[in-house]
Amino acid sequence: MKKTKDLTRREFIKAAAVSGIGLTVVPANALGGTGRIAPSDKINVALIGSGTQALKMLPDWLKRPELQFVSVCDPNRESYDYPLWGRSKGEKKGAPGGREVGRARINEFYAENAGKGAYKGCSAYADFRELLEKEEDVDAVFIMTPDHLHATVAAAAMKKGIMVGSHKPVGNFMHETRVVCEMAKQTEIPTQLFAFQDPQELYVLKEWIGQGLIGEVKELHRWTNRPMWPQGSPYLPTNTPPIPDGFDWELWLGPALPRTYSPDYTHTVFRGWYEFGGGCLADMGYYGFWKDWRLLNLGMPVSAEGS
């Protein structure tokens, strides 16, 4: 059972304005405090998924004074075999990932900022369900898992009254996406989709188009350099080595159907398989398609083609 002050804090956060990552609290100095946010006023965050993208975003999150990362979850304990981002990296391997890597970085940051030699306040779990059951003081989860787990984790968190921040997309399939969106509406639990971009230039261009400065827009082409991973193969991977030590394959699969482990499914390459991601469209389309709709006042699609 949470203490009354924690429930009061959650109700306050729930009513607060949504900005930035979607979660905010009033600074202590605005309330007549010392200028520092008291531990009881911080938002306790659990990081679900500790791969390359999560670890890339974590440093900026840790600098947010209103956030306190208290737990990390990932079915991979620790390894250094994650593909590095970008074609310029070539075929090099060796990026770190896993829950113990995330926990170490969180503990190191808080230890350094507290001026202490050690900090061990961050817990680590392989199973997000165990985390949600045991970590009763968690106020929000930041979901950084492969796409096929986004909706499952978000729904589990909202059922417990926990706020949700998630990387795109909301879900891997339309049905689960609609279910999660409906849950957010019904529960009114604060949620936020990360990686949102709303540049001012978009509205300038919209005004130009509305004034007819560039003439009638007949076609719009959106481009991406993705995929940076193999995709489109009609065959299952033949590379099926033993499951690495410290990696829980069943937990990684989550709601997906059982299958033999292969490194050709996991880490950065999961988007190449529809069971786990939506390819380059689900990866980069999120950043652009909504802008096209807003820019040109488009309605619902009437047809789609693919190859």
Query: pTM of the full predicted structure?
Result: 0.83
**Does an H or E element contain 67, and which?**
strand 67-73
- C-alpha count within 13 angstroms, C-beta hemisphere, residue 22: 17
Interhelix angle 52-62/99-114, rounded to 10 degrees, is: 20
CA distances to 204, 209, 294 from 213, rounded to whole Å, are: 11, 6, 18
Query: CA 177, CA 151: separation in Å to the nearest integer?
Result: 7
Class of domain 4-193: alpha beta
CB atoms within 10 A of CB 24: 16
- E strand or H helix that includes residue 124: strand 123-125
pLDDT per residue rounded down to tens, the chain (307 residues): 444 444 455 555 544 433 344 444 444 444 445 556 777 789 999 999 999 999 999 999 999 999 999 999 999 999 998 877 644 444 546 789 999 999 999 999 999 987 766 787 999 999 999 999 999 999 999 999 999 999 999 999 999 999 999 999 999 999 999 999 999 999 999 999 987 777 888 889 999 999 999 899 998 888 888 887 888 788 899 999 999 999 999 999 999 999 999 999 998 889 999 999 988 888 888 888 888 888 888 888 888 887 7
Task: Read off the tokens for 201.
Answer: 């230039």
Q: Where are the domains of the chain?
A: 4-193
In DSSP notation, 259-286 reads: ----TTTSGGGGGGSTTT--HHIIIIIH
Whole-angstrom Cα distance, residue 49 to residue 55? 9
